[in-house]
Chains A and B, each alone.
Chain A
Amino acid sequence: MSWFKKLMPARIRTEGKNKDRRRNVPEGLWGKCSECQAVLYRPELERNLNVCPKCNHHMPIRARRRLQLFLDESNQVELFANLSSVDPLKFKDSKKYRERINIAQKKTGETDALMVMTGLLKESPIVSCAFDFSFMGGSMGSVVGEKFARAGEYALEHKVPMICFSASGGARMQEGLLSLMQMAKTSAVLGRMAAKGIPFISVLTHPTTGGVTASFAMLGDINVAEPYALIGFAGQRVIEQTVREKLPEGFQRSEFLLEKGTVDMIIDRREMRDQIAALLSKLAGNTKAA
């Protein structure tokens, strides 16, 4: 840090940092594929749902946009947007948890890491939710768990299928054991849905690990993955340190999980609507009359 920056009050300094970060994100008309490095025309990339037209690499997509694109255009309604995180442990590492939430909210324009929306999928009503990985790594604290649970209860009440797109680093450490308990809470709601024959389709996207994988994300009636998404329980660094060997190529990627029998199918983002609608139409095609 230069002497000049040191003289500045801390608040201004962090604002400066944020500006730098923003400048690094290309906002112009041209972007780059994070995998094949191809230079891409942004409107075209967006039309292609953030999938690289050159190498088919699935780049991250924000929760709101994901749901807006997944659902039919009419009748989209966001639910439970009024829930927001509190700081039950008064948690502080290099930053206070409250501060981290504020920063994440400003950065993403969203209230927390999970968004719930109801609407239609090919004219059939569903409830869907999606993680915003850019909100604190998509981590699951009380709000994420509660929104998921309410979405499930909405599905139960309205007898509509539920689809969840996950992208999460796992439980949110800053809420301590309360975050861990969200795993139990969300799984219990899915247990009720299973008992009532309400379909839950879990779509695992890049990256989904930790407490989210070890709870609702693996409990789909059907588990789907996007191509080449990193999906696992433990992080790769932790595994490497434990087993002291290099991890095999493609380890914990969607294709690996398909081979090992963990997911039912891999679906290209551009076919997600068609394929999920086709799955749901069969699951719902022969129900014990409601």
Chain B
Amino acid sequence: MNRNFLDFEHPIAELEAKIEELRHVGSDNALNLEEEILRLQAKMRNKMESIFRNLTPWQMTQLSRHPQRPYTLDYVGYLFTDYQELHGDRAFADDQAMIGGMGRFGGRPVMIIGQQKGRDTKEKVRRNFGMVRPEGYRKAQRLMELAARFSLPILTFIDTPGAYPGIGAEERGQSEAIARNLEVMSKLPVPIICTVIGEGGSGGALAIGVGDRVNMLQYSTYSVISPEGCASILWKDAKYAETAAQALGITSDRVMALGLIDEIIPEPAGGAHQNPEEAAANIGKILEKQLRDLTKLDNSSLLESRYKRLRSYGRFSE
């Protein structure tokens, strides 16, 4: 198997290498080998469990950015049938860091929107590393309004380091594009469910993150600023990213404790990339239940409870 291992996964990598090695050794005394392989596999599972039970926020940050982590279109493949992608903001361009389209979820038509990262170098560039430009947010807005016109529920998948900080993006109104989405999403009369599947990078993530239910995959992160960015501002050095990751409370359990998400979706042992199909099935289960609950509400109670929810964000004293 050709896999990228993160630093803290090395004990797992070593065991896996050993297993591979044994598999390639001749099949003379096949019985004995088989036993040894089983033993090592059990050991590897234990090791993985113990490592993943005590992940630090920084390790989770690395996992959320894992080069083999399933991206939006991977989940689209597992979760939806009859997916048809729709393109463009009708004003400037088609931003490929943001994908959108219609598909069927359990037979029912839905609108799917999400940031998309690239797998190989060429695709990474085409997808701009998942950093969306204004035209991407405006495409998302257009598709969400389209969904509302035809009463399609909206399912968004969040995975971005942040909105793209470039000259053109500023010229074309990056702030306005994000801000408008926040306002529009707060009042679209269809169910909106948002799921953070990888990196939930600040305003660029929130721009498709306002809804009736918000979920995070277990090892995803959601943050007001990247740990590196925070470290370079508050600690005056990006090297303190690990400390900042801890301080910012960006992991699913911390965000849950703040009351900002509804569900932490469990990931397969070792993270979603170890078994994308299982991760997708876990997401599917939650989405199905949430969609069922939300569909029961009429429009005005849907919007009223969404407003209440947004309005309740914050901790202060008075």
Contact = CB atoms under 8 A, between A and B. Distances in A.
B101 to A, nearest CB: 24
Nearest to B306: A188
B155 interface: no
B209 to A, nearest CB: 8
Given A146-B316, A173-B225, A177-B258, A187 B173 contact: no
Given A180-B203, A234-B165, A82 B311 contact: no
B183 A219 contact: yes
Interface in B149-208: 163-167, 169-176, 178-180, 182-184, 186-187, 202-203, 206-207
Nearest to A187: B182
B234 A181 contact: no
Nearest to B200: A177
Interface stretch (B27-35, B58-66, B246-254, B267-275): B246-254
The main secondary structure of chain B at its interface with chain A is helix
A243 B315 contact: no
B58 to A, nearest CB: 15
A93 B247 contact: yes
Contacts of B176: 218, 262
A92 B260 CA distance: 21
Contacts of A252: 170
Given A176-B248, A177-B249, A239 B175 contact: no
Contacts of A232: 170, 175
Contacts, number: 191
Interface in B271-318: 306-307, 310-311, 313-318
Given A171-B225, A195-B187, A260-B173, A239 B258 contact: no
A251 B315 contact: no
B73 interface: no
A182 B318 contact: no
A177 B250 contact: yes
Given A94-B234, A142-B316, A184-B206, A219 B186 contact: no
Interface residues of A, number: 63
Contact of B310 (A184, A235, A243): A184
A183 to B, nearest CB: 6
Given A173-B234, A191-B187, A242-B166, A178 B313 contact: yes
Given A86-B317, A91-B247, A177-B223, A217 B186 contact: no
A195 B187 CA distance: 10
B264 interface: no
Query: Which 8 pairs between the two chains have the least Cβ-Cβ distance?
Result: A234-B165, A142-B314, A187-B182, A188-B186, A181-B313, A213-B175, A93-B234, A233-B174
Interface of B: 163-167, 169-176, 178-180, 182-184, 186-187, 202-203, 206-207, 209-210, 222-225, 229-230, 233-235, 244, 247-250, 254-255, 258, 260, 306-307, 310-311, 313-318
